[in-house]
């Protein structure tokens, strides 16, 4: 086994933290530019949902294959390739002549992010021993939350002063910086060097996710319902075929581990319940409360600042917990309480109520996220960290897609074709919000129950 020095660990963590900062920064910046983007290209709120959904869908499709590819050709190499894709795709987005080119560029960024995210978690787990892992994962997650925190502010300022194109432009030097940092980490981690990729399994997985999640974000169209059904059937067939394959792209046996299975499912539910919050909040603050993109971003900063302040603390605490499920259960409960407040929103909800919602959800995620991720990554042997990391990300991304699917379906059903927010349909928009977060609250309650699944023991062999 390779012995890593403290300098190696710091260099790797710095590269992974910078990369972890980029994706949420881009996501929250784009949320604040949705109104401007819609006005620029003449698109309504339903189509604007594809700006984020295309990223999530592409990311979910490539996560599992990239995890296996990283094991074969090297995790460091896949990390570098992923950042290069993000940089190139950002240039495409910056120069986009039409709305759907923006959507395509976001999808390409999703492909690059799939490589970066699953390799980052996996490599951190590989080089940090169990007693230091929660701290390292906490720092990585904190960088995610810093990106979430400053994204609305930076995005609002750039959108108001330079236009939505500038949001893509600032990603390029950060991706290059992550590449330069990772080049200083001289070790390559290849647990399956000389192995081969299950191409049939990879294609089957990609097709299953593409149909199921692609259909989800296009509901309630009849063809979308058919895609979801076929996709779910293919997911089941993929799981069956992988269990019988000697060269599987994903070891589905991981889900026999109660800790792993319970933590993954609770991660999925946490994002399915909460991801559409940023989408709805950006539209609510700008269109119903009348704030500019910059001021809306400053308000939304409340959630991310709370997450930045408390995430490392709870990451360190998770290293000392006898039962790794305790903090995720508490965190999920707080998230659910925060989401339930949106059920009571009106067209003139006071600003203090909005801030209470954001603070509750932010604090809940600071308690939930890192301890839950640490529980997942510490429940598998070292040689399976890439697959475990991929599943963390798959659960997160598919959860986000389900959340956006619910949001976009409700907009289509309740608001119909009149999905451009105006004074005449504010009540319909509030009905969408209330319905969406009634569903999200029920999901959160289910997540609390599932977060209790698992054993009291880590696996670090």
Domain ranges in the chain are 6-188+249-451, 198-248
Tell me: the pLDDT tens digits for 374-397? 888 777 777 777 777 777 777 887
Is 31:52 a contact under the CB 8 Å cutoff? yes
The residue among 105, 79, 81, 85 whose CA lies nearest residue 168 is 105
Is 73:448 a contact under the CB 8 Å cutoff? no
Q: Of residues 327 and 56, which shows the higher confidence score?
A: 327
- pLDDT value of residue 459: 45
Tell me: the pLDDT tens digits for 119-171? 888 888 888 887 777 788 888 888 877 887 777 678 778 877 887 888 889 89
Q: List the Cα angle 59/64/70 in 5-degree steps.
A: 105
Which of 2-16, 394-408, 430-444 shows the lowest mean pLDDT across its residues?
394-408
Q: DSSP labels for 283-305? A: HIIIIIS---HHHHHHHHHHHHH
Region 164-180: mean pLDDT is 90
Structure tokens at 445: 């309650």
- What's the rounded Cα separation, in Å, for the pair 409 and 401? 12
Tell me: the pLDDT tens digits for 5-36? 888 889 999 999 999 888 778 777 777 677 77
State what percent of residues in the chain have pLDDT above 70: 93
Radius of gyration of the chain (CA): 21
Q: DSSP labels for 235-287? A: HHHHHHHHHT-TT-SS-GGGGGSHHHHHHHHHHHHHHHHHTHHHHHHHHIIII
- pLDDT value of residue 460: 47
The mean predicted confidence, pLDDT, of the chain is 83
Tell me: the pLDDT tens digits for 195-228? 788 888 888 888 988 888 778 777 778 888 899 8
- What's the rounded Cα separation, in Å, for the pair 393 and 395? 5
The residue among 107, 109, 118 whose CA lies nearest residue 69 is 118
- What's the rounded Cα separation, in Å, for the pair 348 and 430? 10
- pLDDT value of residue 456: 46
Region 273-299: mean pLDDT is 84
The residue among 124, 147, 132 whose CA lies nearest residue 30 is 147
- CB within 8 A of 354, min separation 6: which ones? 281, 284, 285, 289, 299
The residue among 86, 62, 19 whose CA lies nearest residue 397 is 62
State what percent of residues in the chain have pLDDT above 90: 24
> Top-level CATH class of 6-188+249-451?
mainly alpha
- pLDDT value of residue 78: 94
For 3, which DSSP code?
P
- What's the rounded Cα separation, in Å, for the pair 131 and 30? 37
- pLDDT value of residue 424: 61
- How sure is the predictor about 422, in pLDDT bands with cuts at 50, 70 and 90? low
């Amino acid at each position: 086994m390779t012995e890593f020095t403290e300098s190696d660990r710091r260099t790797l963590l710095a590269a992974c933290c910078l990369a972890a900062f980029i994706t949420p920064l881009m996501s929250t910046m784009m949320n604040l530019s949705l109104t401007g983007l819609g006005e620029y290209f003449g698109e309504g709120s339903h189509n604007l949902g594809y700006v984020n959904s295309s990223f999530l869908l592409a990311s979910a499709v490539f996560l599992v294959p990239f995890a296996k590819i990283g094991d074969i050709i090297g995790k460091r190499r896949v990390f570098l390739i992923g950042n290069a894709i993000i940089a190139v795709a950002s240039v495409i987005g910056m120069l986009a002549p039409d709305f759907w080119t923006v959507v395509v560029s976001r999808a390409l960024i999703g492909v690059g992010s799939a490589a970066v995210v699953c390799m980052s978690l996996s490599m951190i787990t590989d080089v940090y021993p169990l007693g230091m892992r929660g701290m390292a994962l906490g720092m990585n997650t904190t960088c995610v939350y810093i990106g979430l925190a400053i994204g609305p502010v930076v995005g609002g300022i750039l959108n108001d002063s330079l236009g939505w194109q500038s949001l893509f432009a600032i990603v390029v030097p950060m991706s290059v910086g992550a590449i330069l940092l990772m080049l200083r980490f001289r070790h390559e981690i290849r647990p399956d060097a000389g192995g081969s990729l299950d191409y049939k399994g990879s294609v089957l997985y990609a097709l299953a996710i593409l149909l199921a999640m692609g259909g989800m974000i296009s509901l309630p169209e009849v063809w979308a319902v058919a895609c979801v059904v076929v996709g779910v059937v293919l997911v089941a067939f993929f799981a069956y075929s992988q269990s019988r394959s000697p060269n599987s792209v994903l070891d589905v046996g991981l889900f026999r581990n109660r800790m792993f299975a319970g933590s993954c499912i609770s991660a999925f539910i946490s994002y399915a319940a909460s991801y559409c919050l940023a989408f709805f909040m950006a539209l609510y603050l700008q269109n119903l409360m009348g704030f500019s993109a910059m001021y809306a971003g400053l308000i939304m900063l409340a959630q991310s600042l709370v997450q930045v302040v408390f995430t490392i603390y709870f990451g360190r605490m998770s290293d000392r917990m006898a039962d790794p499920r305790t903090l995720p259960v508490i965190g999920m409960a707080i998230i659910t309480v925060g989401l339930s407040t949106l059920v009571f929103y009106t067209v003139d909800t006071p600003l203090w109520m909005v801030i209470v919602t954001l603070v509750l959800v932010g604090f809940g995620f600071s308690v939930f996220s890192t301890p839950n991720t640490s529980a997942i990554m510490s429940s598998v042997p070292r040689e399976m960290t890439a697959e475990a990391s991929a599943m963390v990300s798959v659960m997160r991304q598919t959860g986000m897609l389900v959340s956006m699917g619910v949001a976009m379906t409700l907009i289509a059903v309740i608001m119909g074709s009149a999905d451009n927010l105006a004074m005449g349909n504010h009540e319909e928009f509030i009905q969408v919000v209330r319905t969406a977060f009634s569903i999200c609250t029920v999901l959160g309650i289910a997540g609390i129950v599932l977060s209790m699944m698992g054993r009291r023991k880590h696996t670090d062999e």
